[in-house]
Amino acid sequence: MKKIIYTLIISGTLTVSAQVGINTTSPASSLDILAANATGSSINVEGLLIPRVDRLRAQSMLAVPNSTILYVDNITTGALSGQASNISSVGYYYYNATSSKWVKLVAGDLTSDAFVDNPTSTRVELGTKSTGATRDANTAFVIKDNGNVGIKTDTPSQTLHVVGNTRLDGNIVDGSDVAGVEGQVLSIESGKVKWKKNTGSTSAVFATFGSGYSGTSSLYVESTGTTIVLPPGKWIVYTNILITTTTLTEPSASQATFVRLTWSDGATTTQSSDIVGGHLASGALVGPTTFGMATGAIIINNGTGADKTYYLTKSASQNYPNTYVPNFLNLGGDSASENNIVAIPAN
């Protein structure tokens, strides 16, 4: 039978009893270590050297006792998962048996001005002030277990609940990740916050008149040369146009013409597909009068996201009797003082 004799050689004094003392004969705790040279200029190393392992080793340990301490000196091995999911940097770690994870020992201010648990109120909250003094009333900062954050309130009812003034430096992004621009307001659309044009502050838009249509055509589509440029959004375009003819084709008491105008995407194309609802401004010239008015409120929805030009065009006209052929004079042009076209934002 072989006997193995372990020899413990310690430089200094070792006292073994219910309490262990190193370099002391009167240990004051379970393990009491005094420096061999507490003062002076000795070059001998003093201190406690904690076991050093890499992350893989810490990750592989089984049945680790609660409060075990070690030093992880290499995180290139193992993985940031399991009981090593907190080991993201070199340093001292202790084992938390409740969470079954290694937890890093963090240096710094550990006073109760940091977040503290409040399980009774199902939240974490800032403790004292930074000085350690009791927090003043209405200065709470809490995070509820359901994710709601409260600033100056400990009962946040929404994801972010702020009591008091709020200052934002920068842009606000809506529910579609679109940043607002000048002149827009936040609105709710399909359950999402969305930037919309502020119709209360958007200016009216006026048309630019061309020379108008002159001729005898009663068919689609004749250009007037008049245009209007509308920003994105929905607009009500009020159109008021004088109807008149050349002197030689002025209607008699038994003659009349009915005129229609519309807005198109081109100078000689039919009505724009952006028009919502009724698409005509219309009116009649009935003899023996020599003037009439074509009027209408046409709704146009510019959904392109950019400014768009629309063209005022003469649509089909109808003459009474069919033998009457009026020769229109500058229809929809800039020669008549009665002509007026203005667009008002509708959304």
Task: Tell me, yes or no, whether 213 and 328 share the same domain.
Answer: yes
Residue ranges of the chain whose pLDDT lies below 50: 1-12, 14
Task: Tell me, yes or no, whether 212 and 335 share the same domain.
Answer: yes
Tell me whether residue 58 is in a domain. Answer: yes
Nearest to 312 by CA among 209, 204, 233, 231: 209
The C-alpha angle 113, 119, 120, rounded to 5 degrees, equals 110
Backbone φ and ψ of 274, nearest 5°? -80, -10
Question: Domain residues for 183?
Answer: 168-196
Burial of residue 336, with CB atoms counted within 10 A of its CB: 0-12 exposed, 13-18 middle, 19 or more buried: buried
- Residue 312 to residue 280: CA distance in whole angstroms: 10
Strand partners, 160: 149
Spatial contact of 87 and 102, defined as CB atoms under 8 Å apart:
yes
Instruction: Report the pLDDT value the prediction gives residue 111, as an integer from 0 to 100.
Output: 56
- C-alpha torsion angle, residues 292, 297, 298, 300 (rounded to 10): 140
Task: Tell me, yes or no, whether 142 and 176 share the same domain.
Answer: no
Tell me whether residue 311 is in a domain. Answer: yes
Instruction: Report the pLDDT value the prediction gives residue 16, as an integer from 0 to 100.
Output: 52
Instruction: Report the pLDDT value the prediction gives residue 131, as an integer from 0 to 100.
Output: 75
Please tell me whether the peptide bond between 65 and the residue prior to it is cis, using omega within 30 degrees of 0. Answer: no
Q: Domain of 283: which CATH number?
A: 2.60.120
- Residue 152 to residue 159: CA distance in whole angstroms: 14
pLDDT in tens, 251-289: 999 999 999 999 999 998 899 999 998 899 999 999 999
Instruction: Report the pLDDT value the prediction gives residue 118, as an integer from 0 to 100.
Output: 86
Task: Tell me, yes or no, whether 217 and 191 share the same domain.
Answer: no
Task: Tell me, yes or no, whether 125 and 239 share the same domain.
Answer: no
- Residue 137 to residue 140: CA distance in whole angstroms: 7
Tell me whether residue 132 is in a domain. Answer: yes
Tell me whether residue 19 is in a domain. Answer: no
Task: Tell me, yes or no, whether 65 and 144 share the same domain.
Answer: no
- Give, as one character, the DSSP assignment of residue 245: B
| Coil/strand/helix, residue 296 | strand
Tell me whether residue 133 is in a domain. Answer: yes
The tally of domains found in the chain comes to: 4
Alpha-helical runs (H) found in the chain:
55-60
Q: How far is CA 306 from CA 61, 120, 153, in A?
A: 64, 55, 44
Task: Tell me, yes or no, whether 223 and 329 share the same domain.
Answer: yes
Tell me whether residue 8 is in a domain. Answer: no
> Which tokens belong to 272?
């724009």
Tell me whether residue 30 is in a domain. Answer: no
Task: Tell me, yes or no, whether 246 and 329 share the same domain.
Answer: yes
Task: Tell me, yes or no, whether 148 and 129 share the same domain.
Answer: yes
Tell me whether residue 38 is in a domain. Answer: no
In sequence order, the 6+-apart residues with CB closer than 8 A to the CB of 206 are 228, 341, 342, 343
Please tell me whether the peptide bond between 321 and the residue prior to it is cis, using omega within 30 degrees of 0. Answer: yes
